[in-house]
Structure 1
Amino acid sequence: MAVRVQREDFDCGAEIAALTAGRTEIGAVVTFSGLVRDSGGLASLELEHYPGMTEKALAAIEAEAVSRWELQASLVIHRYGRLAPGDRIMMVATASRHRQAAFEAAEFLMDYLKSRAPFWKKESGPDGGRWVDATESDEAALARWK
């Protein structure tokens, strides 16, 4: 089980290979990789966080996923700093003996990351910058896990 908050890009294939190396008890791996989406003239997305606090919060939600589903391994990577459209912003990987646990745990982690992870996001475009909050649909997705 691992959480990483980093400025650097990552290689999804290499991360999956490292997560599963020598792990013959794993029967399913579910991954999600989020990209910065250009939703109409986006020049960049700046992500800020408080080191230490962010990792602690992400580790807590990952621990909750592990307590809810039988996972053999999991990984959460989230980037910070200035990102451009098309850049990788985050990755979730869950591994279990069977696919259902891996799928559900990955969805749970993604819903949390989208609405509750302690990152501050600022979009910059032709009209200047604006801070971005979770949407109503993000909150509704998270509510199903309570």
Structure 2
Amino acid sequence: MISVTEEDFDINAVIEQVKRPDLGALVTFLGTVRADEGVEMMEVEAYREVAVRELETIRDEAFQRFPVAAVWIIHRVGRLRVGEKILLIVVGAGHRHEAFAACEYVLERIKQSVPIWKKEIGDGGERWVPGEASGGGA
């Protein structure tokens, strides 16, 4: 599943959907809005159609590079408060090493190439987060 959405998501529900008897490892990454230098909230914007296509490409790359059976990516957009979820990656594989490696690969590729931008909003005003396309606050 690939999703760019304004809706919150239930981590446990996603994990339950990914779980299968043949998967010995489910690795998750959860990115959240962090209270950094007076940040109170973050506005996350995306070129949605291109972001979904790029996330699908990244998922497909993970399947080609690693022996994994499941890759789910959910990225939120909109105004999010400190502590709210931005990004969820769930990778399922037969063994933990492959699942960890694929999850890290997916995260780094998202940060490099997905057209999603973050603006921090807080007591010091607003500023676009420089230097990476995404990353979910991580």
Q: How does the TM-score come out when normalised to structure 2?
A: 0.91
Q: State whether residues 32 and 92 of structure 1, in contact with CA within 8 Å, keep that contact through their aligned partners in structure 2.
A: yes
Q: Identify the residue that residue 85 of structure 1 maps to in structure 2.
A: 82
Aligned residues: 133
> More strand per residue: 1 or 2?
2
Q: 1:111 aligns with which of 108, 112, 126?
A: 108
> Counterpart amino acid of 1:77?
I
Flag as ranges the 4+ runs of structure 1 deviating above 6 A: none
Structure 1 segments unaligned to the other structure (5+ residues): 139-146
Over aligned residue pairs, what C-alpha RMSD do you find? 1.4
Q: Identify the residue that residue 13 of structure 1 maps to in structure 2.
A: 12
- The aligned runs of 1:60-139 (5 Å cut-off) are 60-134=57-131
SS at match of 2:57: helix
Separation of aligned partners in 2, 1:57 and 1:117: 6
Q: Deviations over 1:42-83 (max 9, x none)?
A: 121001111211100111111101100011111001000000
Q: How does the TM-score come out when normalised to structure 1?
A: 0.86
Q: State whether residues 41 and 82 of structure 2, in contact with CA within 8 Å, keep that contact through their aligned partners in structure 1.
A: yes
> Counterpart amino acid of 1:121?
K
> Counterpart amino acid of 1:7?
E
Separation of aligned partners in 1, 2:131 and 2:21: 38
Structure 2 segments unaligned to the other structure (5+ residues): none
